[in-house]
Structure 1
Amino acid sequence: MSSQPHIVLPWIVRRTRLPLLSLRCAHCRTGSATTGDGRFRVNANGKLLDVWLLVRCVACDRTAKLTVHERMPVRSIDPDDLHGYRVNDPELVAARLLDPRLAHRNRFTLDWTGAWRLDVRSAWTDEPWPVQVDVRFEDPVPVRPDRLIADGLGLSRNEVLRRTKSETTLSRPTSTDFTFTVMPDPRLSLGRPGPAAVGRPVPDRSGEVDLRKIIRDSHPSTGRT
């Protein structure tokens, strides 16, 4: 049997909403905040501009400001961004929140629990093994590949380690695209997974996974989307 993958399947990790922020409230000391409706505050001082992203404590609703720009020359800010700050553009809110420089500057981390899903476009057929899966991240959601694969295929994590090959370290969280190959189960006589081997939806351990049922009688994807 050839070691080259015969089927290539696309998986996509994408957010379902903006993540919460792990940020200590100065008023009630609760450690979680939200961007809420998504608003910026812009303050002009001559030719200099301050821009903040406003967040709210999930417990007491107290507003806090995250510094986006501080005493920045107006001319150095992209006109489209400047307009977006003034009209509270939702896409710009998301872009700034997900920018790791904002988190570093304001000392918070993102809490992705319940804020993402895994879209599995899979079809198992009578085509020969092995099967390659390309995982693409639309948003920087940190996930452990071994858990993601286990949830996506309905396998135990031990089976994932035994039956998959990848150049990515499976036990280390990542938000970077990666590829893995699923090998046949040597304990099975057939060259394809049985109903108990693949396709059981299982709860996600680190996010909100919306797994579509794996269809076994459809034609496989061959790398085309």
Structure 2
Amino acid sequence: MLRWVVRRTRLPLLSARCTDCLSESATAGEGRFRVNANGKLLSVWLPARCTDCDRTTKLTVHERVPVRSFDPVLLDGYRANDPELVASTLLDPLFARRNRVTLDWTGAWRLHVPPARPADEAWPVRVQVVFDDPVPVRPDRLIARALGLSRNEALRRIKCDVPMRRPTATGFTFTVMPAD
């Protein structure tokens, strides 16, 4: 069985309605947290900038939370702008729902395929696709691009354990049948 891996190459853009230009423009996170203390309460935001009008907005990570309720390691990560903590915050579905943003993965991921192609006599070929990050992709497009097939050809020759035309962000397996 071959193993393909979908990996993030950069942080995804955020798609949110800008309050200034009113467009549904993608906003790029700066990758830095803003931490503000007010007495014993702490607020943490992730600033984002509109790519159309350059307006900055704050996306809420935590708002007015008692300082003692934070794990010290997490608090240090916010203060140090830990890149892994920024990525995990952006990829958190609760963060996206609370701030009314969606992730735009266009150009932010790459498929890593082993260099060895199966020989003609090795049909059918079984492939496992795993995701390092929850990148939503349509299996038919992913498979067709990786194998150099048209999507119709891929739909005809591929037997998959997930719906081929619906985006998925979880691992799946498929079998490539030989050409007729």
Same fold by TM-score, threshold 0.5 exceeded?
yes
What CA distance in whole angstroms lies between the structure 2 residues aligned with 1:110 and 1:159?
30
The C-alpha deviation readout for 1:109-154, integer Å capped at 9, x for no partner, is: 0111111111111422255321111101111111000111100111
The Cα offsets for residues 168-220 of structure 1, whole Å up to 9 and x where unpaired, read as: 111110000000011112x2xxxxxxxxxxxxxxxxxxxxxxxxxxxxxxxxx
Name stretches of at least 5 consecutive residues in structure 1 with no aligned partner.
Answer: 1-7, 188-225
- In structure 2, distance between residues paired with 1:134 and 1:88: 35
Task: Give 3-state SS (helix, strand or coil) of 2:122's partner.
Answer: coil
Matched with 1:161 is 155
Q: Distance in 2 between matches of 1:171 and 1:139?
A: 20
Structure having the higher Rg: 1
1:58 matches 2:51: yes
2:170 is matched with which residue? 176
Q: Note the 1:112-123 alignment, pairs <5 A.
A: 112-121=105-114, 122-123=116-117
Matching of residue 111 in structure 1 with residue 92 in structure 2 = no
Distance 1:25 1:128 in 2: 53
**Corresponding residue of 2:128:** 134
Distance in 2 between the 1:131 and 1:25 partners? 47
Residue 15 (str. 1) matches residue 26 (str. 2): no
- Segments of structure 2 that go 5 or more residues without pairing to the other structure are none
1:164 shift after superposition:
1.2
The 4+ residue runs of structure 1 with deviation greater than 3 A are none
Partner in structure 2 of residue 74 of structure 1:
67
Q: Give the superposition deviation at 1:46.
A: 2.5
**Counterpart in 1 of 2:42?**
49
1:39 aligns with 2:32: yes
Identical counterparts, % of pairs? 68
* Structure that is richer in strand per residue: 2
With the length of structure 1 as denominator, give the TM-score of the two structures.
Answer: 0.75
Computed over aligned residues only, the root mean square deviation of the Cα atoms, in angstroms, reads 1.4
Give the counterpart letter for 1:171 in structure 2: R
Give TM-score scaled by structure 2 length.
0.93
Q: Is 1:124 aligned with 2:122?
A: no
Bigger helix fraction: 2
Counterpart of 2:77? Answer: 84
